[in-house]
Amino acid sequence: MVEVVVAGAIAILAILVWTVKSMFAARRRMAQMRVDFARATALGAEPASLRPHVNLDVCIGTDSCVQSCPEKDVIGLVDGQARLVNPTSCIGHGECMRACPVDAISLVMGSEKRGIDIPLLQSDFQTSVPGIHIAGELGGMGLIYNAMTQGMQCVQAILENPPAPQAGVRQLVIVGAGPAGLAASLSAMEAKLDFVTLDQDSVGGTVLHYPRNKIVMTKPVHLPLYGKIQVTSVRKEALLQVWHDIIEKTGLEVRTGVKVDAVTRKEDGFFSVRTAEGEEIATQRVILAIGRRGTPRKLGIPGEEKEKVAYRLLDADDYRGSRCLVVGGGDAGVEAAIALGEAGATAHLAHRRRVFDRIKAKNQARLDEAVNANKVQLLLEASPKEIHDEEVLLEVGGEPVALANDYVFIFAGGVLPTAFLESAGIEVKRFHGEIYAPANA
């Protein structure tokens, strides 16, 4: 009997200890969330694109959104309500919106101070031109899982009213072989559609433009004819290997090195997809999965056309011992500058603002470490004015600066291929924090 009482007392004590520890851990998390929220508010930090908006009049603070977020540190409870405590780490999963029991969360694009141009899409991802669909980054879905899911949804929407086979006319042309384009292609292949997939570069899409060894975050997704991709965190090279494994195992054919210049509707109701080589492909449906970053935003300054200027960094080791200037205040620019510094280059990072308000907290910590180790030198409130063979002229804090330089890397984001879209008749809207309808479909 004594043993039973002692055992029970020990069990109760253990439960009490665990409860107290849990309470203290929860308090620490709440305190950290409050600190992170205050910091983000002071910086005016915002997510890069698709983001959750919390209606505080509806939110009841259930914590379901916090628990559902795959990134774990993006959304948290502050004073009993959901807040974006680390907004720059948000990559648009949308799991918080789906988990909210009272529909207090919606997904929005852009903000009051920073608008984002997005093609107007219907719930089936069809544009203002019937028959032309958009999937992936071009439509605001940059996350690999979401882009692939959207690519498959586009094909499923087309199959609800499938185009009848026509001699000399494709049923579908898919432009782009990134995550969205690959997923759409596999869905079309499974449905035995007469289709072709084109890409101006190679298989991989935006992932190709990431620096070597950059970690790409995704989540498991099931692809037609291939099965489940199990990775949740993988380096660029490994993910590109997955893409090639998909092509090898499924037999999917992708015509690479083919740039599409225009998509126009013909008098017979079909579309003409015209390539840079002058080829015209007749098709009944089109899916544009071309992304946004393939068209880099330029600075528009003298010397930008020089060969020393690039808009992506593939292998930092190639620039060991070189004098490199990285221009940009986003994650891509920060990661490139860090990679160059670690590879042994003299790396300067120029940002037009005083603070980095659009980068993930982890990248801020890495940047602070690189600056303290003298691997990256910051130029804040800096704007390049002219690029010469041996130097770059900048304005830093209102003062002219001549910086000795061998290479310039510009990471000013991508621009929407507006002319291409408008020539096809596709309507584009600038979002300033409005609800993004396709994400809720």
Q: For 165-194, write each residue's pLDDT tens digit.
A: 999 999 999 999 989 999 999 999 999 999
Closest Cα to residue 224, out of 246, 243, 241? Answer: 246
More confident residue, 330 or 118: 330
pLDDT for the residue 429: 83
Contact 221, 148 (CB under 8 A): yes
Q: What is the pLDDT of residue 183?
A: 96
**Which of left, alpha, beta for 136 (phi over 0: left; psi -120 to 50: alpha)?**
left
What does the pLDDT average to over 136-154? Answer: 83
Q: Quickly state the pLDDT bin for 209 (edges 50, 70, 90).
A: low
Domain boundaries, the chain: 2-109, 117-295+416-440, 309-410
Q: 144-159 and 179-190 helices cross at what angle (nearest 10)?
A: 30
pLDDT band at residue 440, thresholds of 50, 70 and 90? Answer: very low
Given pLDDT bands bounded at 50, 70 and 90, which one contains residue 439?
very low
| From the candidate CATH numbers 3.40.50.1240, 3.50.50.60, 3.40.50.720, 3.30.1700.10, the one assigned to the domain spanning 309-410 | 3.50.50.60
Does 354 or 110 have the greater pLDDT score?
354
| Displacement of CA 145 from its chain's centroid (Å) | 10
Q: Is the pLDDT of residue 283 over 80?
A: yes
Q: What pLDDT score does 25 carry?
A: 59
What pLDDT does 174 receive? 98
CA–CA gap between residue 184 and residue 148 (Å, rounded): 7
pLDDT at position 1: 59
Two structure tokens written together for 433: 């924090």
Q: Quick check: helix, strand or coil at residue 21?
A: helix
Distance from C-alpha of 185 to C-alpha of 26, rounded to nearest angstrom: 46
- Sign of the torsion angle spanned by Cα atoms 199, 201, 202, 204: negative
Alpha helices in 44-117 (DSSP H): 64-68, 95-99
Say yes or no to pLDDT of 305 above 60.
Answer: yes
pLDDT at position 441, please?
Answer: 42
The residue to which tokens 């509707």 are assigned: 265
Candidate from 24-33, 291-300, 369-378 with smallest mean pLDDT: 24-33
What's the rounded Cα separation, in Å, for the pair 197 and 181? 8
Q: Return d(Cα 119, Cα 127) in angstroms, integer.
A: 7
The answer to whether 127 touches 120, Cβ cutoff 8 Å, is: yes
Residues contacting 260, CB < 8 A, separation 6+: 175, 198, 200, 273, 274, 275, 276, 290
Share of the chain above pLDDT 70, in %: 85
Per-residue pLDDT tens over the stretch 2-42: 565 566 667 676 676 666 665 655 567 767 777 777 777 76
Res 415 pLDDT > 70:
yes
Q: Which residue has the higher pLDDT, 16 or 441?
A: 16
Check residues 139 and 367 and name the one with the higher pLDDT. 367
Give me the pLDDT at residue 212, please: 66
2-109 CATH, one of 3.40.640.10, 3.40.50.2300, 2.60.120.1440, 3.30.70.20: 3.30.70.20
Sign of CA dihedral 326, 329, 332, 336: positive
How much of the chain is helix, strand and coil, in % rounded to 5?
35, 25, 40
The answer to whether the CB of 350 falls within 8 A of the CB of 321 is no
Least confident of 200-204, 226-230, 247-251, 318-322: 200-204
Instruction: Tell me how far CA of residue 130 lies from CA of 110, 163, 164, 298, 424, in angstroms.
Output: 26, 13, 16, 32, 11
Query: 18-22, 158-162, 388-392: lowest mean pLDDT where?
Result: 18-22
- Domain 117-295+416-440 homologous superfamily, CATH: FAD/NAD(P)-binding domain (3.50.50.60)
Angle at 152 between CA 150 and CA 158, to 5 degrees: 105
Taking residues 246-275, what's their average pLDDT? 94
Tell me what the mean pLDDT of segment 56-70 comes to. Answer: 89
Q: What is the mean pLDDT of residues 119-136?
A: 90
Topology match between the domains 117-295+416-440 and 309-410: yes
Whether the pLDDT of residue 63 is over 70: the answer is: yes
Does the structure show a pLDDT above 70 at 308?
yes
pLDDT (0 to 100) of residue 6: 61
Mean pLDDT along residues 301-325? 95
Which residue has better confidence, 235 or 149? 149
**Closest C-alpha among 232, 233, 210, 205 to residue 221:** 232
139 half-sphere exposure, CB direction, 13 A CA radius? 32
Cα–Cα distance measured from residue 309 to residue 301, given in angstroms and rounded to the nearest whole number: 12
pLDDT band at 103 (very low <50, low <70, confident <90, very high): very high
* Ranges assigned E (strand) in 232-345: 233-235, 255-256, 260-265, 271-275, 280-283, 286-288, 309-310, 323-327
H helix and E strand count, the chain: 10, 27
Q: Tell me what the mean pLDDT of segment 95-101 comes to.
A: 89
Cβ distance 183 to 133 under 8 Å? no
Mean pLDDT within 114-132: 86
* Helix or strand run (H / E) with residue 402: strand 399-404
Over residues 76-91, the pLDDT tens digits come to 898 889 898 888 777 6
Return the pLDDT at 211: 67
The confidence score (pLDDT) of residue 300 equals: 94
Could you tell me the pLDDT band of residue 159, with boundaries at 50, 70 and 90?
very high
